[in-house]
Amino acid sequence: MERRRPAKAAELRQREVCNLIHRFTQQLDAHVRGVADAMGLTPTQVVALRELSERMTARGLAARMVCEPSNATFVLDRLEKQGLIERRPHPTDRRAKHIALTAKGRRYRERILTRLDEHSPLAPLTEPQQQQLCELLGTLVERQDD
């Protein structure tokens, strides 16, 4: 008969942290899906419009969305067909295009930001707590990127 070793406190804490982060990520995903459904968009389109706070390239958007540039291009193609973005020549790189929101895209983005704020999974936290969470998660992510 195999004997199990007792779990150490650090092991239990790590498992609890992983479980909580996973559950919170599911809540965030569900929230974005709800906004997407209400707006007639896909969740990925909602994320793209959320991240388009300024003109940028598809590669820059992909970095913000944490996806491959080809995925961002696919999403941008759909947003362009819906009249929400337009591609403009990049001022210094002939190979790249700047992505810019159209007037309709700016209106959609404002509605998305408002809806994402409503009933946000982050709402129970105060601003300082949200900042602290951001710093802690940033520390973990930066450590893994090294």
- Residue 1 pLDDT more than 80? no
H/E segment holding residue 26: helix 9-39
- Residues 104-126: tens digit of each pLDDT: 999 999 999 999 999 999 999 99
What's the Cα-to-Cα distance from 143 to each of 28, 62, 66, 107, rounded to whole Å? 23, 21, 17, 37
pLDDT computed for residue 32 by the predictor: 97
Residue carrying structure tokens 């007792």: 6
Question: What are the φ and ψ backbone dihedral angles of 84, each rounded to 5 degrees?
Answer: -95, -25
Cα dihedral sign, 103-104-105-106: positive
120: number of Cβ within 10 Å: 14
Question: What are the φ and ψ backbone dihedral angles of 100, each rounded to 5 degrees?
Answer: -130, 140
Q: Which residues contact 69 (CB under 8 A, 6 or more apart)?
A: 58, 59, 62
Compute the distance between CA of residue 144 and CA of residue 72 in angstroms, rounded to an integer: 24
- Residues 26-43: tens digit of each pLDDT: 999 999 999 999 999 999
Domains belonging to the chain, first-starting first, are: 12-145 (1.10.10.10)
pLDDT computed for residue 142 by the predictor: 86
At residue 16, the 3 state secondary structure works out as helix
pTM as predicted: 0.85
At residue 86, the 3 state secondary structure works out as strand
- Residues 66-99: tens digit of each pLDDT: 999 999 999 999 999 999 999 998 889 888 899 9
What integer best gives the mean pLDDT of the chain? Answer: 92
Compute the distance between CA of residue 75 and CA of residue 27 in angstroms, rounded to an integer: 23
